[in-house]
Amino acid sequence: MNEEKIVTRFAPSPTGFMHIGNLRTALYAWLLARANGGRFIVRIEDTDQVRLVEGAVEVILQTLRQTGLDYDEGPEVGGEHGPYVQSERKEIYRKYAEELVAKGQAYYCFCTPERLQQLHDEAAAADSVGGYDRHCRNLLPEEVAERLSRGESYVIRQKIPLEGVTSYTDEVFGEISMENKEMQDQILLKADGYPTYNFAHVVDDYLMGVTHVVRGSEYLTSTPKYVLLYDAFGWPRPHYVHLPLLMGQNEDGKISKLSKRHGAVSFQDLLQAGYLPQAIVNYIALLGWCPKDSNQEIFNLAELCQAFSIDGISKSPSVFDYGKLNWFNSEYIKQLSPTNFAERVMPLLKQKCPSDGLNLDKLAQLLHTRVSTINEAANMVDFVAERLPLDLANYTNKKNKTTPELCLRILQEVQPRLVACADWQNDTLFELLKAYAAESGVKAGAVMLAVRLAVARQAVTPGGATELMEVFGKAESLARIELAMAELQ
Stretch that binds RNA, among 70-78, 191-199, 338-346, 357-365 (CB under 7 A): 191-199
Q: Which stretch binds RNA (CB under 7 A): 74-82, 141-149, 291-299, 351-359?
A: 291-299
Applying CB under 7 A, does 169 fall inside the site for RNA? no
- For the bound state, the minimum distance from the C-beta of residue 157 to RNA, rounded and expressed in Å, comes to 9
Work out how close the CB of 141 gets to RNA at its nearest, in angstroms, rounded to a whole number: 20
Nearest CA-CA partner of 5 in 49, 43, 37, 44: 37
Pairing of strands 155-158, 255-257: unpaired
- 430/447 Cα distance (integer angstroms): 10
CB-CB contact of 377 with 348 (8 Å):
yes
Instruction: Report the distance separating Cα 292 and Cα 436, nearest Å.
Output: 57
260 is catalytic: yes
Interior/surface letters 274-304, b for 16+ CB within 10 angstroms, e for the rest: bbbbbbbbbbbbbbbbebeeeeeeebebeeb
Q: Does 155 bind RNA (CB under 7 A)?
A: yes
Nearer to RNA, 50 or 486 (CB): 50
Catalytic residue chosen out of the listed positions 103, 181, 260, 350: 260
Which residue stretch of 31-39, 65-73, 137-145, 307-315 sits at the interface with RNA (rule: CB under 7 A)? Answer: 307-315
- Choice from 262, 266, 463, 472 touching RNA (CB under 7 A): 463
State yes or no: residue 11 binds RNA (CB under 7 A). yes
Strand order of the β-sheet with 212-216 is 39-42, 7-10, 212-216, 239-243, 165-170, 174-179
Backbone φ and ψ of 476, nearest 5°: -65, -35
- Using an 8 Å Cβ cutoff, are 438 and 447 in contact? no
3-state secondary structure of 297: coil
| Residue 78 DSSP SS3 | strand
In this chain, which of 30, 430, 436, 472 binds RNA, going by CB under 7 A? 430
Of 190, 344, 409, 474, the one binding RNA by CB under 7 A: 190
**198 interacts with RNA by CB under 7 A:** yes
- The reply on whether position 290 binds RNA by CB under 7 A is yes
By the rule CB under 7 A, 184 interacts with RNA: yes
Which of 149, 295, 337, 379 touches RNA by CB under 7 A? 295
Establish if 118 lies at the interface with RNA (CB under 7 A): no
Q: Please report, as residue ranges, which positions from 82 to 111 form the binding site for RNA (by CB under 7 A).
A: 111
SS3 per residue for 230-260? HHHHCCCCCEEEEECCEEEECCCCCEEECCH
Q: Rank residues 94 and 190 by Cβ distance to RNA and give the closer one.
A: 190
| Beta carbons of 163 and 169 less than 8 angstroms apart | no
Decide if 387 contacts 483 (C-beta within 8 A).
yes
Residues 127-146 within binding reach of RNA (CB under 7 A): 127-132
Size of the site for RNA (CB under 7 A): 93
By beta-carbon proximity to RNA, the closer residue of 66 and 184 is 184
Count other C-beta atoms under 10 Å from residue 340's C-beta. Answer: 11
In the list 104, 151, 174, 234, the residue contacting RNA (rule: CB under 7 A) is 174
CA 147/CA 473 separation, integer angstroms: 86
The residue range among 112-120, 261-269, 338-346, 402-410 that interacts with RNA, by the rule CB under 7 A, is: 112-120
Instruction: Write out the binding residues for RNA, residues 17-76 only, by CB under 7 A.
Output: 45, 47-48, 50-51
Binders of RNA among 218-277, rule CB under 7 A?
Answer: 218-222, 244-245, 247, 249, 254-257
Stretch that binds RNA, among 62-70, 184-192, 272-280, 411-419 (CB under 7 A): 184-192
Measured in residues, the chain has a length of 489
Among 126, 292, 420, 441, binds RNA (CB under 7 A): 292
* Residue 147 is a binding residue for RNA (CB under 7 A): no
Question: Which secondary structure element, helix H or strand E, spans residue 166, and what is its range?
Answer: strand 165-170
Query: Applying CB under 7 A, does 297 fall inside the site for RNA?
Result: yes
Is residue 150 part of the contact set for RNA (CB under 7 A)? no
Distance of CA 309 to the CA centre of its chain: 21
Longest pairwise C-alpha distance within the chain: 110
Q: Per-residue string for binding with RNA, 368-387, x by CB under 7 A?
A: -xx-----------------
Q: Does 171 bind RNA (CB under 7 A)?
A: no
State the pairing for strand pair 174-179/239-243. unpaired
Kindly tell me which of 370 and 474 has the beta carbon lying closer to RNA.
370
Q: How far apart are CA 283 and CA 33, in angstroms?
A: 20
Q: Which of 93, 107, 168, 173 binds RNA (CB under 7 A)?
A: 173
Closest separation in Å from C-beta 11 to RNA? 6
Q: Are the C-beta atoms of residues 22 and 287 closer than 8 Å to each other?
A: no
For the segment 309-328, give every residue that binds RNA (CB under 7 A). Answer: 311-312, 314-319, 321, 323-324, 326-327
Tell which positions 351-370 bind RNA, by CB under 7 A.
369-370
Q: Which is nearer to RNA, 2 or 295 (CB)?
A: 295
Identify the H or E element spanning 366.
helix 360-367
DSSP 345: H
Given the complex with RNA, which of 427 and 482 has the nearer CB atom?
427
Rounded to a whole number of angstroms, the CA Rg of the chain reads: 32
Name residue 170's amino acid.
D
Query: Which residue numbers are catalytic?
Result: 260
